[in-house]
Structure 1
Amino acid sequence: MDKVGLRALKLVAISMYFVGTLCFAFIHGKTEPLYYIAGILVAVGSTSNLICNQHITSMFPKYRGFGISLLSGAFDSSTLIAFILSETYAQFSLQKSFIILAFVSICVGLFMAIFILTTRSDDMRRFASNFSDAVTSGENEDEQAKLSQDCVRDNNENTRSLDKEAKNIEVSRRIKMIIDLRYQSIKDCIISLPFLLITIWFMLGLFRFSTFLGQLQRIINELFPNDIITIDHLLQISSAFSMCGFLAAPITGLILDISQAYCRRKIMQNDDYSIDEQHHKNQIYYTYIFGLAPGLLFMAFCAMFISCLIFIPNRVAYYFAFLFFVMLRSLLFSASVGFCLTAFPVHYFGTVCGILNSIGGIFSLLQYAFQYTSSAVTANIIITICSVGLFIPPIILFKMKSR
């Protein structure tokens, strides 16, 4: 994305997804290798599609967290399609469903690539409904300065609202300048403290997420031995909750947007900083990205609640565990994407987000070690201890903001 552009990546991604979905449609007993090829194409294509779609939120900068959460929630709730297909399989063949899915996805993807997405990812903000908020990251610096001067001039002639608008634009210009000065290359992003913090948080969060899914049936079997009715019931409820990601998205999105708006107001209220002083630049930067800390902290609590509740051999406890799991999943992916878009220059988003997801995915492979070396309860105790580390990044962000 960072090299070839947003639109080009979208076209490649939808092509891969289209070919992979068609491969699934025509798999039979004699074409088993095609299954692995199709799986790789669909996995890479769908993930790349989601990353491209995240840039649509740049058109709504004041509600970026809400938009990212909705997109992630829709991605999670796509399992609902598989459920509907499985329920109507006798009336509608699986092959036809894959063919229809392939052609619908290619049509929608082409429309988005041609008419919605821009060639470069940092150009998406040009279409923001509130341009004064959009200049935070990705606008031409001369245009920002001109817009700021115009707003200041209008403020001298008109109302207090224009004064607030001018100050908002000036703050956006300063934040963008600070971020651009801090991260002049992708190396600067990777070796920075914010990237280390979000990597630790994402690794541990994804580890908790993947082990919950991988160990769920094992731990239920251990806690409810010989109770087939309860085991089947809890697994069905778990599947139902997994389709509710889209319902949790507005809540997690509002958490991110409200906290970021609060931190932005704190920056605007502080008239004592100077862009030339390194201390104040750091203070502005960490106050700005601290807006994501409440989301990180809330997900840490969700992970701990899950870890504790699944020890309780009670149906109601598991209902709450499934509820917290839906919130965890929504925050895990929306907050990590929002952090990459907020803390680093937008033209490095593809690389930073890709490295973050790769590290998290590799670390989560450790879950397979527990399947063969310990019981599910013992594994969950170890994972619960590891989940305590989720509280470290938001605490450090608070310390950096307060310095």
Structure 2
Amino acid sequence: GLIVSLIDVFFFGAFFYGLNSLINAYSELGVFESYCKGNDCSEQRRMFSYVYVTGVVCQLVFSPLVGIAIDQVGLRFSRLIAASLFTTGSLMFAFANRRTSYLLFPAVFFVAVGSLGGLVCNCYISIWFPKCCGLLLAVQSGAYDSGAAVSFIVVQILPWLSLQTSFILIGALGAVCGILMAVFFLTQHGNQMVPPQEAQEDAPDKKQSGKEEEPALKQVDLEMVRIIEERYPSLKSCLLSWPYALIMLYSSAGNLRFSYYNSGLSRQVNESFSNDQELVNELLETFSAAALCAFLVSPLNWLIIDLSRRYYKQKLSRELEDIPEIPSDEEIYWTNMRALLPTLMILPTLTLLITITQLIPGHRWLFYFQFVADISFHTMLARVTSTNVILGFPAEHFSTLMGLALMGGSPGENGSTNTKPDESTLRKVPIGHLCHIIPSTLAANSRWDLNAMTEMASSAMENGQTSVLLNPATEYCFHTI
């Protein structure tokens, strides 16, 4: 089931992320040919950017519906719907030509929504492997982001297999994989995915560990479950909370940043190497191939988050054992959320580096760096957003909260296609600063000492612990904005 899931997510997932590499192939078929004025085909390239942005916006806007469908309609039925949408979109990609250019718009809609639904459904497979669930989720997420490489593969086999045949095969095989997943590997509802024997096998394994800190770590988990349930008794309380507002803020900024780069890449490369069309096509194809690095980045990102979570978990376990100075529920909650700080610091750093290199045109190797950094940014953003929702909110609302968080960046997507490359790069600067707000907030909370925590802070200083405490980030964050 896991192998089929990974094949499904990679080969029959987000291949539209690699649309830039397909521009030359579709241009030869006469798609959007009417927008060319002599040798000036900038408007034609802009239409392809519109197609890409349409896919991203639809994916973000419909992500809450995907989550609600899985939670309410059922896992198996949702997977079948996702497979049918993906197959329909792939067939539309196959039959797009000079006379049916605008078929690409509904095509990218169906592929975007269908592939997202397939990914979320397939992620439930990882529940069967609780000991490495986090790693498997990371690998599946990386496989999905690497799906852009499928477009690169399609372009490379064009001498032997036409564009139409390739996408017909992708659609047909995608339907087969989707049906296999729904019928043989997924249950009707997500809560049925955990085998009954897993609970029996789990206890002996934990007893064999023999670690003295295990009971304390269990206590941290129990405390977090209790705090989250009391803090968020309903979906409405989650949506109206400050922590979720922060998630929406950086998720929106991050998705906006990623789409700005991708939708403007074709124009940027053409302006940098306008006299070498062969190099332009090579760079656009290389961008799709670079998506394969998501396979490596995603597990690495999981490792960073996992190590950070263990550190803060052990920290909380020591504090909970200190009876006279047990931290408040608010402190425990925000200390637990600080586990994401390392990744949240990496994201704005990548944004800054990409923006700086875009201001230096004409260097081929800088584009290679941008490709890897951009794919890494998107992979890490998706992972940190999902982990943030998992850590900070009730599990039963995960799909809905995750979908709404992804939807946040959609209102500004259309603007990414209406700016010149220089203006687009300047727009990315303030967007990148938004990505700095969250890690800056969490870092600031480790230094702030409010009256309610004065005694505990003094004790921590005496014990040589300089950053034990946390406070809610909201006042500082919105004051900064």
> TM-score range with shorter-chain normalisation?
0.7 to 0.9
Task: Please point out which of 414, 423, 426 is paired with 1:378.
Answer: 423
Task: Provide the rounded CA distance (Å) in 1 between the counterparts of 2:179 and 2:262.
Answer: 34
Number of the residue aligned with 2:146: 77
CA RMSD, 1 decimal: 3.4
* Alignment pair present for 1:296 and 2:364: no
Task: Provide the rounded CA distance (Å) in 1 between the counterparts of 2:181 and 2:122.
Answer: 9
Q: Where does 1:2-401 land on structure 2 (aligned, <5 Å)?
A: 2-25=71-94, 36-60=105-129, 63-124=132-193, 161=210, 164-223=213-272, 226=275, 231=280, 234-272=283-321, 280-313=328-361, 314-369=363-418, 371=419, 375-398=420-443, 399=445
Calculate the TM-score normalised by the size of structure 2: 0.68
Task: Provide the rounded CA distance (Å) in 1 between the counterparts of 2:269 and 2:176.
Answer: 43
CA contact (8 A) 2:94 2:163 kept: yes
* Residues 51 and 273 of structure 1: CA distance in aligned 2, closer, same or farther (over 3 Å): farther
Deviations 1:287-339 (A, max 9, x none): 22222222122111111111111112333333322222121121122222222
Task: Provide the rounded CA distance (Å) in 1 between the counterparts of 2:168 and 2:276.
Answer: 41
Deviations 1:31-83 (A, max 9, x none): 77765544332221111111222333444556454333321221122232232
> Could you list the runs of 5+ residues in structure 1 that have no partner in the other structure?
134-146
Calculate the TM-score normalised by the size of structure 1: 0.80
In structure 2, the residue corresponding to 1:271 is in which secondary structure?
helix
Aligned partner of 2:291: which letter?
S
In structure 2, the residue corresponding to 1:402 is in which secondary structure?
coil
* Residues 294 and 14 of structure 1: CA distance in aligned 2, closer, same or farther (over 3 Å): same
Task: Provide the rounded CA distance (Å) in 2 between the counterparts of 1:96 and 1:322.
Answer: 28
Equivalenced residue count is: 376
Aligned partner of 1:107: which letter?
V
Instruction: Note the C-alpha offset of 1:220.
Output: 4.0
* Residues 227 and 162 of structure 1: CA distance in aligned 2, closer, same or farther (over 3 Å): closer
Task: Provide the rounded CA distance (Å) in 2 between the counterparts of 1:210 and 1:32.
Answer: 22
Aligned partner of 1:204: which letter?
A
Aligned partner of 1:292: which letter?
L
* Residues 179 and 23 of structure 1: CA distance in aligned 2, closer, same or farther (over 3 Å): same
CA contact (8 A) 1:10 1:48 kept: yes
> Could you list the runs of 5+ residues in structure 2 that have no partner in the other structure?
1-69, 447-468, 472-481
* Residues 57 and 235 of structure 1: CA distance in aligned 2, closer, same or farther (over 3 Å): same
Instruction: Note the C-alpha offset of 1:99.
Output: 3.9
* Residues 61 and 198 of structure 1: CA distance in aligned 2, closer, same or farther (over 3 Å): farther
* Residues 177 and 6 of structure 1: CA distance in aligned 2, closer, same or farther (over 3 Å): farther
